Amino acid sequence: MRSSLTRKILFCFLSLFPLLRYSPIQSISAEVDPGLVRFQHIGPFGGDARSLLIDSRNSQNIFLGTSNGRIFKSSDAGYSWTPISLGIGHFEYVIDTLIQHPADSDHIYAGAWDLHSEGGGLLESRNGGLTWKRVMLPNAFSAIRGMSICRRDPSYMIVGTLDGPYVSENGGINWKKAGGKGLQKAESVAIDPENPRILYVGTWRLAYKSKDFGKSWARIDKGMPLDSDVFSISIDAHNPEIVFSSACSGVYRSSDRAQSWKRLRLLPNRFTVRAHLVYIDPVDPKRIYSGTTEGLFVSNNSGLTWSRLSSSDVTVNAIQVDPKNNSRIVIGTEYQGVMLSENGGKSWQESNNGFVRKQISWILPDLKKSGNFIAGVLSGRGGIYYYSDNAKTWTFSQIAPGMRILSFLILPDKHGKLAGTTRGLYWLPDGSDRWKMLPGSIAKRTIYSLSLDPLNPIVYAGTDQGIYRTSLEAMNFRIPPGYRFSPITWCFAAPKTNPGVVYAGTSLGLLRSYDRGTTWSVISAYGLPERVVIQALAVSPFDKEHLLAGTSVGLFESKSGGVYWKRIEDNRMGGNILSILFLDESGGRIIAAEKASKEISYSGDGGQSWNRIHSPEIESAVYCMTKDPERPSRIYVGTQSEGVYLLDFLF
């Protein structure tokens, strides 16, 4: 009886042993001395520029609003940019509105709306953009889509929000709702320059006008299609009878204070063009600009005839003309960032030094030249960017316009390059300048990851329907025979220290192959949550049994080749690890990037304890990291919206 009880106790203890051995370990995090690391922002510059403002007092000063909650300032007429800290916390705001107070050039407003909700806010600076605070509207977190201040009497203001318009009669000290429930989704606003009680509001369905400062409203739709979203309204300051508006259906002009509209023909063969804004030249009121999804247009006769000033592939979000020299035009575009003309639009140059709004999906070092690397941009028009360290320049290329490249691989021995996209796998043979789509079922897949076996001439592709493989010579990707799984496969790890073994991070957890990807089995049974999404994998170059897994719920460690796991507990590390790197051959130096905290953590003792690497410059999540093969203390860091940083360890 006693022997039987002893066996039961021993059995229970042994069955719990893996859990006891790999239970979470608390790791208190400090911060790496800022003097021991160095960050350098290197681009690729440009991206989505949403709003612009030229300082009316000093046109050398220009402000730029972005789609990731940042404002940049230029002090050299738009040739270089520096980010401004808003000091309101991390918000994924689109700053579509920048406006200067007519009586005080240091008084600036910024209107923002949130990417993931109907929230946002109106921000205010009274010292030229140095510091900002939130304006307390009745709904302080309203999504701001437009703002107007009366130049004749700046005490009159109107703000357009998704809740409808708000108005102020005392210079923004107090605000009240105008329009009631019947007037919602206010996309654009304007105030009559002579009579501040006349208000205009453009909505997601036509425009409205008030003659009593918002107490009552009338729809102004004569001459405008009923499904028109009105994106902007501009009034001629010299003759307020003339009003322009831009909409999804085109550009319109009124000569009777918007009682009726006439649609203008920007293109010779049609009226319809998606016009984001219409802008009246501050020097010459007969010169009208319109920013559209098909370029920048200008009229020199108050809208009667038009000509295109930019290429048709430029989507224009913002326009500013220097009030002291109207030959200087600055536009904010969706893909090319800021574009500048010094000769009235006859020629243009991109002017983005210091301004970045690009999402990096992957980075690979150039194995032939230390300091050079290739990065994939997921945002905007996408594409491949090659960085030359000597020239400090970027070279842009595409497989096809708008194609999103999720993964990339440089093949050895002049076998070319591979690019995984949302529309199949592409191959660029060595010496060719033309990408070829690889045939077979992989042509229908989304390719999230690509990896080369370091000891065998085999290439692995992780897709939305499982794992494909090919020999390097055949370049014929197939699902392995007898393959039983089809999970989304995010990443691979094929350690040099363990020939034939390959790990795959998938939506089913961790998979392992002992035979170079021919057969696979799920091994993440102890310690990892069931069906956890593994987004990043790293194997210690010193200990083939030591693995780190970045998951959607935290960083996990295994010292048993992936069989047993423990979660690295750190209250400041967060729970969404996107990238992990072992930095040295001893496996002692490790870095990991976490999405929510938007910072990188460092361990100098093989993962036992972690310290934060803080950079006041980076306000975006780190998506990917890779080290320079010749200088392992140099890391290339790809971010969600701020392009690429160089991180140098000085210790």
Instruction: Classify residue 209: in a domain, yes or no.
Output: no
Question: How many angstroms separate the CA atoms of 239 and 242, rounded?
Answer: 6
* Residue 17 pLDDT class (50, 70, 90 cuts): very low
Instruction: Report the CATH number at residue 537.
Output: 2.130.10.10
pLDDT band at 5 (very low <50, low <70, confident <90, very high): very low
Region at 21 (left for phi over 0; alpha for psi -120 to 50; beta for the rest): alpha
**Whole-angstrom Cα distance, residue 298 to residue 250?**
14
Tens-place pLDDT, residues 183-238: 999 999 999 999 999 999 999 999 999 999 999 999 999 999 998 999 999 999 99
Q: Which residue range(s) make up the domain with 417?
A: 23-39+358-649
**pLDDT band at residue 27 under the 50/70/90 scheme:** very low
Q: What is the CA radius of gyration of the chain?
A: 29
Measured at the CA of 550, the angle between CA 548 and CA 554, to 5 degrees, comes to 110
Average pLDDT along the chain: 91
Q: Is the pTM of this model over 0.85?
A: yes
* Mean pLDDT (whole number) for 613-638: 90
Whether residue 511 lies inside any domain: the answer is: yes
**5 inside domain:** no
CB atoms inside a 10 Å sphere around CB 531: 12
Q: Is the per-residue pLDDT at 1 higher than 60?
A: no
**624 located within any domain:** yes
Confidence of residue 408 (pLDDT cuts 50, 70, 90): very high
Q: Is 609 exposed, middle or buried (0-12, 13-18, 19+ CB in 10 A)?
A: middle
Q: Work out the pLDDT band at 388, boundaries 50, 70, 90.
A: very high
**Single-letter residue type at 225:** P
Residue 177 lies inside a defined structural domain of this protein: no
Report, as an integer, the average pLDDT of 129-150. 95
Q: Is the pLDDT of residue 10 over 50?
A: no
For residue 12, pLDDT beyond 60:
no
Could you tell me which residue, 34 or 474, shows the higher pLDDT?
474
> pLDDT value at position 321?
98
Looking at the predicted structure, is the pLDDT value of residue 6 above 70?
no
Number of domains in the chain: 1
Contacts of 489 by beta carbon, 8 Å cutoff, 6+ apart: 448, 449, 462, 463, 466, 467, 504, 505, 506, 507
Residues of the chain with pLDDT > 70: what percent? 94
Q: Comparing C-alpha atoms, which of 279, 208, 202 is closest to residue 237?
A: 279
Instruction: Say what the pLDDT of residue 279 is.
Output: 98
Q: Is 425 inside any structural domain?
A: yes
Do the beta carbons of residue 645 and residue 639 sit within 8 Å? yes
How do 405-410 and 566-569 pair as beta strands? unpaired
Q: 110, 121 in Cβ contact below 8 A? A: no
In a domain, 535, yes or no: yes
Asked if residue 384 is part of any domain, the answer here is yes
